[in-house]
Structure 1
Amino acid sequence: MDHPLTDVQDVRIAQMSLGNMARSVEDTRVSTNGASKLVTIVIVGAGHRGTTYASYALEHPELAKVVAVADPRKHRRAVMSRKHNIPAANQFEDWKDLIAQGKIADAVVIAVQDRLHADAVADFAKQGYHILCEKPMATSIAECVEMVRKVTAAEQPKVFGIGHVLRYSPYNRAIKEVIDSGALGDIINIQHIEPVGNEHFTHSYIRGSWHNETESTFSLMAKCCHDIDILSFYLSGLMPTKVQSFGSIGHFKKSRKPAEAGSATNCLDCAYEPKCPWSAKKIYIDSLGSDQLVPWAKLFVDADVLDIENVTEALRTTSYGRCVYECDNDVVDHQVVNIEYEGGVTASMTMSAFTEALCDRGTRIQGSGGGGADR
């Protein structure tokens, strides 16, 4: 998947998730002399998330090793193979070809597009792999149920984890410790916001792979399923009893296109572009050489070195240069969720595209002790 991780801490959180799986796999077996055995891993989907999970093996070579990769894009396969010394025989364009080789590793990281998760999990579960699947688990309840059935049908117990990485972050663990300590009393209400961010939302949900529900899923599922999950984590798994939610496409539609933009459909041809906050030129070209952890253009330009020429060419030939008012997006750009849990505890979660605070989540927790916790 190509959702960007926005800072060093986010990368560390994703690595923690894979590290937790690796340790869980270690717990299921030891080598013949009683020592821990190196966990071998297959990466299915060598985009940004797959690459980030795999980087755990580079930092902890004594615990894990990536031994194979499957991705339809040749450049991505090549980059990962160079980093992890993966032999040519273990580089696959399609995970089905990898499956045809039989089981070649202990575990698999599934980081393909959301709609492919269920099929991939079914294939690797059948061969007895331990599985870490990127969020969301799947795009329908029926697929989620079937995935669990496939995994639990394995002859031996296997690790099956979903990449709800917020649970592994130091700040969320600290918040959970405060809640569990009783310092706040009984939790009464939680208010949580996920400011997706101007650049992130237009990249992923207007121009990118998650712009259309039919091709992927709705934006709340794709972006904020782990924000909903973290509420359950805080509340120790209390069951929701009532849920209310609504949202809409507030801005990214043709009726909101500035008159000055005229008939332009690509930012590079648009007279309004210098004034437009959603300009592809600003996001992908003007940011080259900045201190971004991962340049946005790196997520769709297949090149070891980004430059004005190859990024410009990509903006001409892919959806990433399109005017945000001329895309075929149908996912909402803001949404709220209100939840009542067992015992009357309430929580609200807001997702919004319209902010420069890129994924800078905020949470306010109020308890019967009269105090509260903010972050």
Structure 2
Amino acid sequence: MLFDIVDTLDLGGEVLNSSKYTVALIGAGHRGKNIYGNFIKKHCSDINITAVAEPNLYKRKAFAKEHNIPYERQYKNYEQLFEQGKIADALLITTMDHDHYHPTIKGLEIGYKILLEKPIAPNFDEFQKLVDKTRENRDSILIAHVLRYTPFYKQLKETLNKSEIGDIKAINHTENVGYYHFVHSYVRGNWRNESVSAPLALAKSSHDFDLLTWLLNNKKCKTVFAQGKQNYFIKDNHPYNAGKHCNRCEAENNCPYSAKHIYLSKNLPWPKEVVKTMPPLYQRKLGVKFTDLGKCVYLLDNTMPEVITANLNYQDNIQVNFTLNGLSKEMTRVTKIYGTKGEIRADFAQNKIQLLPFRKKEENIEPPYKQGAHGGGDLGLMEHFESYLKEEYEKDTSTLEASIESHIVGFAVEQSRRTNKITSVDDFRTNL
């Protein structure tokens, strides 16, 4: 995919640097290489990445060069890495969804601490087994639910905890994916099809279900009713004058989903922090010309619904209306929280929180800004990972145990969406 294209090939690093804590990376894609690996290299003097497992030769060599990893610590797959026994203090597992289960299970058996990308697993059976295994090794896994670590949502939680809006009765939470991001990841990209990805409610929205659980101080979701199906990015909607590829298409000039518009235009629709991580223009042109990045969005093998809505009934009869919208102009999350004494409106992209009590003075809150993707959440997660290795971390964080609720809600949403019936979350919870 686009963010994984590299133009360097090197035989690897030279020597291992000395450090207090060592880490092995499994999966040297965009998040493993550019987010986690880059942060450790630039900001963590006590941590050194000493091994990498990655099947793609170019990614493996590029990552090894950046971190001075010698040839004998560069592995084609995680099986080769595990054959060496325990060679580091911790694992970073940033593989695709269907490759989360096996390396995590093996890593736990060997005795690694683990930072695992969300979702924990793409299906409930693997999820259940991972939960059981992790409970034998308590507090041994962190899940990359980065929204907990953003200044924005920390501020929102702090504002809620002051109880100035009284008891929470309802929440409207909308996840606007952004049309350009949706077609990049969920139509053309690595998460387009459930044969290679978890269902969308988990692959994308486990972030949101984790956030809701955290903001509600771990109240449990009781029932779910969800709707949504794939009905726009399908062959039937292919324009009559459109081609199979954006480079050879008469309808391209008027198509917002054109790869030329999304990746190559002068005014790219992506947020600035994402544009900064994109490969150079010539690499993007090659990607559009020779990969699925340039194929027509109506002619791919994607299966993900463009919109999901869900009514979530939490303890104390708190009603949450959740919407995942893949056809939005902006990439943001908007949360409106209604209490017995006021309301709160929060816009993640705008970095604005409005506190609107019914009889007190209204207040506009602007949380502190932090650089990096996910509103600084990626950097916040990595700062926490460092304290996690040092065993200095706070307990109110995204351990696997704390992430169970978000995932069973995601599984329940997906079941309800498919069956068009109200689903009991307790039916999943009682199996854990």
Q: TM-score, normalised by structure 1?
A: 0.82
- Conserved 8 A contact 2:2-2:293: no
Deviations 1:228-249 (A, max 9, x none): 1101111111111111111122
Matched residue of 2:273: which SS? coil
1:92/1:288 CA distance change after superposition, 3 Å? farther
Deviations 1:39-68 (A, max 9, x none): 211111111111202223123333322111
1:95/1:283 CA distance change after superposition, 3 Å? same
- 140, 150, 165: which one aligns with 2:133: 150
1:342-361 aligned at under 5 Å gives the runs 342-358=315-331, 360-361=332-333
Matched residue of 2:172: which SS? strand
State percent identity of aligned pairs.
Answer: 33
- Conserved 8 A contact 1:69-1:91: yes
Deviations 1:80-104 (A, max 9, x none): 2222222221111201111111111
- Pair 1:293 & 2:273 matched: yes
1:287/1:143 CA distance change after superposition, 3 Å? farther
CA shift for structure 1 position 297:
9.4
Query: Partner letter of residue 293 of structure 1?
Result: E
2:114 maps to 131
2:247 maps to 268
- 244, 263, 268: which one aligns with 1:284: 263
- Pair 1:255 & 2:236 matched: yes
CA shift for structure 1 position 287:
5.2
- Conserved 8 A contact 1:178-1:184: no
Matched residue of 1:66: which SS? strand
- Conserved 8 A contact 2:334-2:345: no
CA shift for structure 1 position 337:
1.3
Query: Partner letter of residue 124 of structure 1?
Result: G
1:14 maps to none
1:175 maps to 156
1:236 maps to 217
Deviations 1:139-167 (A, max 9, x none): 1122112112223334xx55211111111
Matches of 1:314 and 1:140, distance apart in 2: 31
CA shift for structure 1 position 250:
3.5
- 196, 207, 210: which one aligns with 2:191: 210
2:287 maps to 314
CA RMSD of aligned residues (A): 2.3
1:193 maps to 174
CA shift for structure 1 position 352:
0.9
CA shift for structure 1 position 3:
8.6
1:373/1:273 CA distance change after superposition, 3 Å? closer
Query: Partner letter of residue 65 of structure 2?
Result: R
1:2/1:334 CA distance change after superposition, 3 Å? farther
Structure 2 unaligned regions, length at least 5: 5-18, 348-432
Matches of 1:66 and 1:201, distance apart in 2: 32
Matches of 1:181 and 1:104, distance apart in 2: 46
- Conserved 8 A contact 1:2-1:48: no
1:2/1:224 CA distance change after superposition, 3 Å? farther
1:108-119 aligned at under 5 Å gives the runs 108-119=91-102
Q: TM-score, normalised by structure 2?
A: 0.72
2:342 maps to 370
Query: Partner letter of residue 105 of structure 2?
Result: A
CA shift for structure 1 position 105:
0.6
Higher relative contact order (CA 8 A, sep 6+): 2
CA shift for structure 1 position 368:
1.3
1:129/1:315 CA distance change after superposition, 3 Å? same
